[in-house]
């Protein structure tokens, strides 16, 4: 039940369809903590209004993020270069519902079953990439996205420093039963510096962090919800 309430509240805040009292400003959640996973999915019509292309090295000219997240990504990449001489590439950012569907169906055809495909690819609407707050990153000398990125010097640095810029490693090893996704050291998610710092220090999935906020007596919200279907 708590998960359901949390997802509904975060969804409403992100899409701006309902009004909240001033208490929402005190905990500064907003769309940055919008929970998207295999249980809580985005509508096929949802498209962020402020998508921009970060000024970073990328593998294509269509790597997009929401403006705030894009600015943070630029600072993250710049710090990696200036502090350690590490070069990071942006590989995949915003993905529309239609793009997700195409990727998902292609994976099913390749591996031969829906069950096997879901171990590696999110069903349409269940990907954080549709939020415009996630980015898959890599290095110039590594082709494709694979777990080996987590063992590279760039991957280790990202894991230890992404929170300084508002990002978390969304799908860590050992969290599969909670997040619903395999270990993906290349997938970073923007939540804002304050939240990223707390999530990093506690070393917990976003799902557990959001539950903590709403379980706390200090962060109770008054809200009105209409027409929320099962």
What's the farthest any 2 CA atoms get from each other in the chain?
Answer: 51
Tell me the C-alpha distance between 129 and 139, whole Å.
20
Which positions are annotated as active-site residues? 184
Show Cβ contacts of residue 60 under 8 Å, excluding neighbours closer than 6 positions. none
Helix (H) or strand (E) segment spanning residue 134: strand 134-138
* Tokens describing residue 223: 């809200």
Tell me the C-alpha distance between 211 and 73, whole Å.
26
* Angular region, 132: left φ>0, alpha ψ -120 to 50, beta rest: left
> In this structure, what are the phi and psi dihedrals at residue 160, rounded to the nearest 5 degrees?
-90, -15
């Amino acid at each position: 039940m708590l998960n359901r309430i949390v997802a509904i509240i975060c969804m409403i805040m992100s899409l701006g369809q309902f009004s909240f009292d001033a208490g929402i400003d005190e905990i500064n959640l907003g769309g940055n903590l919008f929970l998207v996973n295999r249980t809580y999915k985005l509508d096929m019509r949802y498209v962020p209004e402020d998508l921009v292309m970060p000024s970073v090295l990328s593998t294509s000219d269509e790597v997009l993020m929401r403006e705030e997240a894009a600015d943070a990504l630029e600072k993250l990449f710049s710090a990696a270069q200036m502090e350690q001489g590490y070069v990071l590439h942006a590989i995949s950012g915003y993905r529309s519902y239609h793009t997700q569907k195409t990727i998902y169906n292609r994976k099913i055809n390749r591996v031969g079953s829906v069950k096997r495909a879901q171990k590696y690819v999110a069903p349409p609407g269940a990907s954080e990439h549709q939020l415009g707050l996630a980015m898959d990153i890599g290095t110039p000398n590594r082709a494709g996205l694979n777990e080996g990125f987590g063992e590279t010097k760039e991957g280790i640095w990202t894991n230890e420093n992404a929170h300084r810029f508002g990002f978390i490693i969304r799908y860590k090893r050992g969290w599969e039963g909670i997040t619903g996704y395999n270990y993906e050291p290349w997938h970073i998610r923007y939540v804002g510096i304050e939240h990223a710092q707390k999530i990093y220090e506690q070393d917990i999935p976003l799902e557990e962090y959001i539950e903590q906020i709403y379980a706390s007596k200090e962060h109770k919200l008054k809200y009105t919800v209409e027409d929320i279907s099962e």
